[in-house]
C-alpha cells in the first residue's frame, strides 16, 4: 500500500477473530489480523484509512533503529533491571544462582561456558522478581478501580515477545515479566492502562480520559517504555 511517496509492506493474517487489528512493530514490520471471512478489498480500505497513523508509528520506531542484537549471555554483556544497566559477570561455582551486586549481575554456575544454563538462570531470576514486583505495584492501584466498579481481575505474569500487557473481555490481565527491565513509572503506566480496560474495553475517549485522570503524564511514560531494551 502507498501513503504519499511511501510504500508499506503489510503481512495479512486471517484467523478466527471478530475484528480487524493493525499493528506496527518496533522492528518496522506491519501486520493486519483479520477475521477469516474478510475480503482483501475490505482489509485494504481499512489500511488506507489508517495509513497516516501507520506512517507516524513507523517514524516513531525508526528513531530506535537498529534494534539491539539478541542477548548472548556472556560476561561483560549489558542487562537491565528497573531501567538501570548492569554488567553480566559469570563465575564458576558449586551453587547455580544469580545475584545483583553493585552494578553487576553475578551468575554462578558449575560450567560458565554453558550459555543456555546462564540464560535459564537469568530468565528465572527476572520471572521471580517480576511476579513479586508487579503484584506490589498492582496492589497500589487496584483498590481505586474497584471503587469505580471494576471487577477484581485474574492476573497472570508471563514472558511475552510483542506486548507489555493485555486485558481480556473476561477480566484477565496478563503482564509481561520483561517489565522489570523498565523504570517503575513505566511499569505503573502498563498496569494502569490494563486496569482502565476493566472499565472501558476499547481505546475510546472515555478510556483515555480515565487514563489521563490517573496518570496525567501517561504519554511521557509510554514514550520512555518504548526505549526499554529487552
Is residue 58 helix, strand or coil? helix
DSSP state of 26: T
44-97, pLDDT tens digit by residue?
Answer: 898 988 888 888 888 877 766 665 667 889 999 999 999 999 999 999 988 899
11-27, pLDDT tens digit by residue?
Answer: 998 888 888 888 888 77
Statement: the pTM of the whole predicted model exceeds 0.85? no
**CA–CA dist 197, 163 (Å, integer):** 15
Question: Is 25 part of any domain?
Answer: yes
Please indicate, yes or no, whether residues 109 and 6 belong to a single structural domain of this protein: no
Please indicate, yes or no, whether residues 123 and 205 belong to a single structural domain of this protein: yes
- 19-25 LR contacts (CB < 8 Å, sep 24+): 20/46, 22/46, 22/47, 22/50, 22/54, 23/162, 24/54, 24/57, 24/58, 24/61, 25/61, 25/162
DSSP state of 69: P
Q: What domain count does the chain have?
A: 2
State the cell numbers at 25.
512493530
Please indicate, yes or no, whether residues 114 and 191 belong to a single structural domain of this protein: yes
Q: Which residues pair with 117 in a beta bridge?
A: none
pLDDT at 160: 87
- Comparing 33-42, 140-149, 171-180, the range with the smallest average pLDDT is 33-42
DSSP state of 105: E
Please indicate, yes or no, whether residues 111 and 197 belong to a single structural domain of this protein: yes
Is residue 65 helix, strand or coil? coil
The CATH number for 108's domain is 3.30.2010.10
User: How long, in residues, is the chain?
Assistant: 230
State the cell numbers at 86.
548492569
147-182, pLDDT tens digit by residue?
Answer: 999 999 999 999 987 789 999 888 999 999 999 999
Q: What is the mean pLDDT of the chain?
A: 90
The half-sphere exposure of 215 on its side-chain side, counting CA atoms within 13 A, is 22
Domain of 52 in residue numbering reads as 2-62
pLDDT at 212: 96
Amino acid at each position: 500500500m502507498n501513503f504519499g511517496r511511501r510504500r508499506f509492506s503489510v503481512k495479512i493474517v486471517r484467523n478466527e477473530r471478530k475484528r480487524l487489528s493493525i499493528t506496527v512493530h518496533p522492528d518496522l514490520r506491519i501486520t493486519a489480523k483479520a477475521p477469516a471471512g474478510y475480503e482483501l478489498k475490505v482489509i485494504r480500505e481499512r489500511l488506507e484509512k489508517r495509513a497516516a497513523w501507520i506512517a507516524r508509528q513507523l517514524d516513531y520506531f525508526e528513531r530506535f533503529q537498529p534494534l539491539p542484537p539478541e542477548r548472548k549471555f556472556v560476561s561483560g554483556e549489558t542487562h537491565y533491571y528497573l531501567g538501570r544497566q548492569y554488567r553480566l559477570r559469570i563465575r564458576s561455582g558449586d551453587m547455580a544462582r544469580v545475584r545483583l551486586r553493585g552494578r553487576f549481575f553475578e551468575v554462578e554456575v558449575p560450567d560458565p561456558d554453558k550459555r543456555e544454563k546462564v540464560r535459564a538462570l537469568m530468565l528465572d531470576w527476572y520471572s521471580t522478581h517480576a511476579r513479586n514486583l508487579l503484584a506490589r505495584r498492582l496492589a497500589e492501584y487496584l483498590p481505586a478501580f474497584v471503587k469505580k466498579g471494576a471487577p477484581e481481575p485474574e492476573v497472570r505474569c508471563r514472558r511475552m515477545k510483542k506486548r507489555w500487557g493485555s486485558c481480556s473481555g473476561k477480566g484477565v490481565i496478563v503482564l509481561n515479566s520483561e517489565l522489570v527491565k523498565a523504570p517503575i513509572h513505566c511499569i505503573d503506566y502498563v498496569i494502569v492502562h490494563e486496569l482502565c480496560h476493566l472499565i472501558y474495553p476499547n481505546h475510546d475517549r472515555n478510556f483515555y480520559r480515565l487514563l489521563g485522570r490517573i496518570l496525567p503524564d501517561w504519554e511521557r511514560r509510554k514514550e520512555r517504555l518504548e526505549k526499554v531494551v529487552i
